[in-house]
Amino acid sequence: MNSTPTIRTAEIICVGTELLMGQVINTNANFLASELASLGISSYRQIVIGDNRDRLLEQIKTSASRADLVILTGGLGPTADDITMATAADAAGLSLELHEQSYKQMSQFFQRICRTMPSSNKKQAMVPPGSTVFQNANGTAPGAMFECKAGTKEAPDHSAYLVLLPGPPSELIPMFQEQVRPILEKYNAVRFRTEYIRLYGVGESAAEERVKDLIDGQTNPTIAPYASEGECLFRITQRIEPGIEQDLITPIINIFRERFGDYIYEIGKRTLKEVVYDLLSSKGMTLSFAESCTAGMASSDFVDVPGASKVLTGSIVAYDNGIKEQLLGVTQDVLSDMGSVSRECAAQMAEGCRKLLGTDISVSITGIAGPTAYSSDKPVGLVYLAISDKNGTEVSEINLSGNRMRVRRVSVLHAFNMIRKRLQ
Amino acid sequence: MNSTPTIRTAEIICVGTELLMGQVINTNANFLASELASLGISSYRQIVIGDNRDRLLEQIKTSASRADLVILTGGLGPTADDITMATAADAAGLSLELHEQSYKQMSQFFQRICRTMPSSNKKQAMVPPGSTVFQNANGTAPGAMFECKAGTKEAPDHSAYLVLLPGPPSELIPMFQEQVRPILEKYNAVRFRTEYIRLYGVGESAAEERVKDLIDGQTNPTIAPYASEGECLFRITQRIEPGIEQDLITPIINIFRERFGDYIYEIGKRTLKEVVYDLLSSKGMTLSFAESCTAGMASSDFVDVPGASKVLTGSIVAYDNGIKEQLLGVTQDVLSDMGSVSRECAAQMAEGCRKLLGTDISVSITGIAGPTAYSSDKPVGLVYLAISDKNGTEVSEINLSGNRMRVRRVSVLHAFNMIRKRLQ
């Protein structure tokens, strides 16, 4: 890349017959769209197209003639179906050559997993000469960025940048965030400052109603609500225009603090579990879970945070009542009189787990995830959670809507939030 | 609709700036694509476009000129942003008129939820005269289907059907299934039969190499490989043409069986964990996990299968070595001499867990998920798993690539596969 022209507009092309057949949900388009929006790059179209050379070639040319940036995902694999790199090079009038460094890394990747590299994989290291190559830390296919001249009658000198990324989200997301985004930030005309306000325990529409005056009244910064499962997130974005460099975001955050108080668990990027990890880790405290309906999901989710081993000692998945009794010391009286989904059982589970595993804090989760309810007075979605530490035990009852997976996921978030509130 | 021409090809256009901004994941395209595939209608493109009249008009005309059917979703709401109906009518050269029945139903809908109908909602009952109108049982906007003449140089008489559906999946899905699909079935020429072959333990490119002759040589049925994290899936699709009604899929499956043998865990729709659940459940056996690096993920994943409580008794998350020793009976010698990531530790974990929880089978997982390695001889991705039952204990060593999340996910799949191989 010699010059650094401005990238104002983009199109996203996702390549893969599996998307056209409806076998896979297109989360890549969503991720990239949201990244482009945060970069201030307008994205006017997303296109899904199959593994078909003619249609893909035509689409790349059309998109390149309309936009400054075309991001392509998928079709970088080793098989005959995977035609994105060759077709994009064609569209740009470029040939392909072996990228030695990528080829070497690919060989090392196969050595590390103790397999022989099939000869078909060599294809993945072929890119147009002069490309910016993006290393793939989580798979074999490198990504690439190169220029594609696509002049039109109106703009004879127009050219677009093509960015090619692998299809699996576990490869695409880190590659974009670590290698592509920093480049796009440099090519960008407008600057934005973004801050996130994260809430737990208040529904999306209720939250939105409470700040409707702000959302409607603001043009800079803009305030956009984002619902995610069981959580609520607002993104505040300030356009930094020449002459308006001062911080317009903090006054908005202060109003949110006044209106939402303790529901706000983070101003920034940390997720709820990261906030909880930082709290526990800074106090040198240890944690365990006693899980029934979530069956290990709270522990497993928490361990997504690197370094979690400093805090999480272990957990008991007590799916069967026998385990609740035998390992966690839940009494037979409670199980027969109150049932395993009850305040009393949750309390005994947390206390028993804390004693058994010797941790500073233990949190229990017992509830009915569905699909079938136990009885009419214990419907699907009823969940009891308890937190136990040296100051005692506290139980919380929640009633959740949604399917089996949602009930379990939101229960886990609620468990994390109980720890946060206990420690903050 | 007077004639019933054949619908062979379709494009899907999803309208909504919230999709372009990455605020919403496009599940509608996925749903419709999978419905079209099951109807044998080839869908060559999916397009997402914002609430912009000019771009939408151009897109509808382009799509209508290429396909027999164009399905549009979103933009049927009551606000000024909602322009799909008017723009589609424009593209077809049609006007809009009030559809009395829809207007009446809309008024009744508002009565039912005890609200006054805002005057802006009247717009939602405006459709081109002669349209097939789809009633909306779950919202206000009706859907519509009408013809759009879109002749090209090559096909001057070409016309496409436009089908307009509301954006919210809770409205779109039932409307499509109950009202649109029956119409499309009548317009449909070709039928398809599909079967899935699912493998574990063989990489995508290695698997494809082994059946390359079949993939290259076949036109009916077609054979398509799909990689998913740590697994490998082939879809075999037979086009049922007049005169060729016999089963062409089974002979292909038999060749796969010969070539892949035990790597195949399922011919059909079940995932690996569902296969394992069915095996255990049919034998009346119970299961537990002893999890270190996966920290509850194996248990939690397994519990995604409804009814899992019949099989999974419970699990021990033994993240800390103290728990491995104290609860699972891993010896101090093993921990100090071999370390917690070792064959010996994995074996003792599985045996100890089986004894502690009294299950027929117990599977242990201990490994290094990263981001940092313990030492040079124990790199990130090294994982030991053991399975223990009344016949003894078997240990497996795997070396995985990828990030922390991938190492943990593939370890869980490997654990499930060990159970399958033990029981099959």
Whether the pLDDT of residue A3 is over 60: the answer is: no
CB contact under 8 A, B206 and A118: yes
What is the pLDDT averaged over residues B3-27?
Answer: 86
Q: What is the pLDDT of residues A114-152, one digit of tens each?
A: 778 888 888 999 999 999 999 998 888 999 999 999 998
User: Which of the pair, B109 or B61, is modelled with greater confidence?
Assistant: B61
Higher pLDDT, A63 or B424: A63
In A1-92, which residue ranges form alpha helices assigned H by DSSP? 17-20, 27-39, 53-66, 84-91
Q: What is the mean pLDDT of residues B86-98?
A: 96
Nearest to A121 among B205, B312, B405 (CB): B205
The tokens for B19 are 């999709």
Q: Which of B89, B50, B55, B66 is nearest to B11 (CA)?
A: B66
Residue B273 falls inside a structural domain:
no
pLDDT of res. B117: 78
Is the model's pLDDT at A2 over the cut of 50?
Answer: no
C-alpha span between B284 and B280 (Å, rounded): 6
Domain count, chain B: 3
User: Measured between CA atoms, how close is B243 to chain A, in angstroms?
Assistant: 26
- Whose tokens are 């589970």? That residue is A349
- Indicate whether A4 belongs to any domain: no
Against a cut of 0.90, is the pTM above it? no
Binned at pLDDT 50, 70 and 90, residue A325 comes out as: very high
Q: Which residue has the higher pLDDT, B163 or B241?
A: B163
Q: What is the pLDDT of residues B278-309, one digit of tens each?
A: 999 999 999 999 999 999 999 999 998 988 98
Task: Name the residue range of residue B235's domain.
Answer: 191-267
Question: Does residue B307 sit in the same domain as residue B247?
Answer: no
Same domain, yes or no, for B337 and B310? yes
Residue B8: burial class (beta carbons within 10 Å; 0-12, 13-18, 19+) = middle
Bin A234: left if φ > 0, else alpha if -120 < ψ < 50, else beta: beta
Which of A10-24, A172-186, A247-261, B178-192 is predicted with the least confidence, judged by mean pLDDT? Answer: B178-192
Same domain, A145 and A20: yes
Residue B419 pLDDT > 90? yes
For residue B44, list chain A residues with Cβ-Cβ distance below 8 A: 20, 49-50, 52, 55
Say how far apart CA A190 and CA A39 lie, in whole Å.
8
Q: Is residue A2 part of a domain?
A: no
Cα(first)–Cα(last) distance of chain A, in Å?
49
Q: Is A403 helix (H, G, I), strand (E, B) or coil?
A: coil
**Predicted local distance difference test score (pLDDT) of residue B205:** 72
Distance, in Å, from the CA atom of B44 to the CA atom of B37, rounded to the nearest integer, reads 11
Same domain, B244 and B361: no
Q: How are beta strands A132-134 and A159-165 bridged, if at all?
A: unpaired
What CATH number is given to the structural domain containing B359? 3.90.950.20
Percent share of chain B, pLDDT over 70: 95
Q: Within this chain, do residues A336 and A353 fall inside the same structural domain, yes or no? A: yes
What CATH number is associated with residue A123?
3.40.980.10
Task: Collect all residues of chain A within an 8 Å Cβ-Cβ radius of residue B358.
Answer: 322
Residue B4 lies in a domain: no
Which member of B26, B235, B358 has the closest CB to residue A29? B26
In terms of domains, do B412 and B308 share one?
A: yes
Same domain, B117 and B254: no
Of the pLDDT bands very low, low, confident and very high (cuts 50, 70, 90), residue A372 is confident
Q: Which has the closest alpha carbon to A106: A71, A72, A78?
A: A78
Q: Report chain A residues whose CB lies below 8 A from the CB of B229.
A: 168, 170
Give A404's pLDDT tier (boundaries 50, 70, 90): confident
In whole angstroms, give the CA distance from residue B413 to residue B401.
14
Instruction: Based on the fold, state whether residues B249 and B217 are members of the same structural domain.
Output: yes
Structure tokens at B77: 């709401």
Question: For residue A387, what pLDDT is reported?
Answer: 98
Q: Could you give the CA distance from residue B132 to residue B139 in angstroms, rounded to a whole number?
A: 18
Q: Which residues of B135-166 are buried (b: 16+ CB within 10 A; e: fewer)?
A: ebeebbbbbbbbbbebeeeeeeebbbbbbbbb
Closest-CA distance of chain A to residue B134, Å: 23
Split at pLDDT 50, 70, 90, the class of B238 is confident
Residue-level pLDDT at A353: 98
Taking the C-alpha atoms of residue B64 and residue B70, their distance in angstroms, rounded to an integer, is: 6
pLDDT in the model for residue B423: 94
Same domain, B160 and B15: yes
Q: Which of A241, A267, A293 is the last residue of a domain?
A: A267
Residues A98 and A205 in one domain: no
- What pLDDT sits at residue B401? 80
Closest CA to A284 of A349, A361, A363, A350: A361
**Contact criterion met (CB < 8 Å) for A77 and B294:** no
In a domain, A107, yes or no: yes
All residues of chain B having their beta carbon less than 8 Å from the beta carbon of residue A48 are: 29, 45-47
Q: Are A183 and A151 in contact (CB under 8 A)?
A: no
- The answer as to whether A3 is a domain residue is no
A204-228: pLDDT as tens digits: 667 777 888 888 777 788 887 765 5
Average pLDDT over residues A352-365: 98
pLDDT at B233: 86
